[in-house]
Amino acid sequence: MNNAIVIGAGPAGVSGAISMAQQGFKVTVIDEYMKAGGRLLGQLYEEPTGGWWNGVKESANLYNSALALGVDFKLSTPVSNIEKIDGQWVVYTNEHTYTTPNLLLATGAAESPIPIPGWTLPGVMSVGAAQVMTNVHRVKPGNKGVIVGVNVLSSAIAMELKIANIEVACIALPKLTKVSEETGNPLAVMNSLLNVAHMAPSQLVKMGSKLMKNDFLKKMGITFYPKKGMKMWDIPIMLRKAVIEIYGNNSVEGVVLADISPSGEIIPGTETKISVDFVCIAGGLYPLAELAALAGCPFHWIEELGGYVPLHNETMETVLDGLYVAGNITGIEGAKIAIKQGHLAGLTIANKNYNGKLEHEIQDALKQLNSTRANAFIQFHPNINIGKQKLQQYWIKHQQDIKLVKN
């Protein structure tokens, strides 16, 4: 019986496992978290078509479908290394060592931190941490907080905190530093926000975003952006204020906010304090790809995909024999896209083992993926397709280079 190992029990990994199990594979899914679902677990938002996208429920559905097909889950099991020995991928965990010819890496994404003074105080956490505490573990990160970093993820989670009756005093920018870079630059942040303005509940914001197509208007927009912020779901979003310090004796007691210029410089004398008991840091997501690096995959920095991604083709093969990728390790996108990518990767693996008899199914899965991407409600990066094209060019070049070497 063919077998495969999937690392990562998020939407990509579990759907990949399901596809392979449906093709008669014996599949083991390994994840260091105690529940299957990955970053899907915490998600909670109202769909444009009505109804709620509930990550806990969606994760349970995927997990139960996989279990019903005989997929074996090793949860609470961190993978420390992978390597290829005698044509087999060897997967080292804290308990056992597993081997397989077919390895799917679906390790997802992690959040970039933004260090600002006071950020090590207890009560400061990543915005994803607050999301999981609130929606999965059902524990409040605090009673009243501030979110540092304005982006798609932070505004979505701000709303989730509000639904759970947790007060969010405001979402503001981080102090501009060499590390915070664009996340601390009001103009750059506004540009990225304009791409998600269709999510705004206010017609004014939606219309305003259409008016701001040219650079002059953008510059005017950020110059005259109201200092007290604009409200989204009743939470002030402040593009002209930055959190310059988090203070407290043994845990968070408050933050210092200051007005900033359109390019992010602090305007002296404008500092004010807000009392809060928690702070979320939202630096955005990047592909989590250490295992692909350990395996020896070549990498490319692609801004539109959120960071360094292992080189792979559009059917999820890496350049290493028997190693495949799916989900956010290939670029930052939503869970629905990750599910389609996992399905595609699963079919690609099965197809390799069945001498190409699933070509038709693969083309179908590719179509489904592209249409899901085109219709995605939340886009983490507006130019995702450009990023995918860049990667495809690198892949073609790599294939040509291999031919040259062989000849």
Partner 1 sequence: MTMRIIDHPVLGRLNDSNTISFTYNGETLTGLLGESIAAALLANGIRTIRYHEESGTPRGIYCNIGHCFECRVHVNGQQGVRACLTPLEENMDIISGGKLPTPVRDWRANNE
Q: Which residues in this chain contact partner 1 in the complex, by CB under 8 A?
A: 32-34, 44, 52, 54, 56, 76, 78, 110-111, 113, 120-126, 128-129, 132-135, 137-142, 163-165, 250-252
| Closest approach of partner 1 to the CB of residue 51, in Å | 11
Residue 322: left (phi > 0), alpha (psi -120 to 50), or beta?
Answer: left
**Which of 84/162 has CB closer to partner 1?**
162
Tell me how far, at minimum, the Cβ of 328 lies from partner 1, in Å. 13
Give the nearest distance from C-beta 279 to partner 1 in angstroms.
11
Q: Which CB, 81 or 371, lies closer to partner 1? A: 81
* Residue 64: partners with Cβ closer than 8 Å, 6 or more residues away: none
Q: Which residues contact 404 (CB under 8 A, 6 or more apart)?
A: none
Q: How far is the CB of 201 from partner 1 (least distance, A)?
A: 16
Spatial contact of 134 and 44, defined as CB atoms under 8 Å apart: no
Amino acid present at 292? A
- Among the listed residues 252, 243, 52, the one whose alpha carbon sits nearest the alpha carbon of residue 163: 52
> Which position has the token pair 């290493």?
320
CA dist 92 and 74 (Å) reads: 13
Task: Provide the 10 A C-beta neighbour count for residue 362.
Answer: 19
Distance of alpha carbon 294 from the chain centroid: 21
- Compute the least distance from the CB of residue 163 to partner 1, in Å: 6
Q: Closest CB to partner 1 among 94 and 363? A: 94
Nearer to partner 1 by Cβ, of 137 and 397: the residue is 137
Contacts of 222 (CB under 8 A, 6+ apart): 186, 187, 190, 239, 240, 262
The answer to whether the beta carbons of residues 38 and 31 sit under 8 Å apart is: yes
Number of other CB atoms surrounding residue 54 within 10 Å: 15
Our CB check for partner 1 shows the closer of 288 and 297 to be 288
Pairing of strands 88-93, 97-100: antiparallel
Residue 12 near residue 327 (C-beta atoms within 8 A): yes
Nearer to partner 1, 97 or 165 (CB): 165
Shortest Å distance, C-beta 46 to partner 1: 9
User: Which of residues 138 and 178 has its CB atom nearest to partner 1 in the complex?
Assistant: 138
CB-nearer residue toward partner 1: 49 or 203: 49
Helix, strand, or coil (residue 302): strand
CB of 357 to partner 1, least distance (A): 39
Nearer to partner 1 by Cβ, of 8 and 331: the residue is 8
What lies within 8 Å, CB to CB, of 145 at 6+ separation is 130, 161, 166, 167, 168, 169, 276, 277, 278, 279, 280
Least Å distance, CB 110 to partner 1, is 5
Residue 71 vs residues 9, 20, 68, 239: alpha-carbon distances, Å: 11, 9, 7, 47
Q: How far is the CB of 164 from partner 1 (least distance, A)?
A: 5
What is residue 10's DSSP assignment?
S
Q: CB of 221 within 8 A of CB of 155?
A: no
Nearest approach, Cβ of 342 to partner 1 (angstroms)?
19
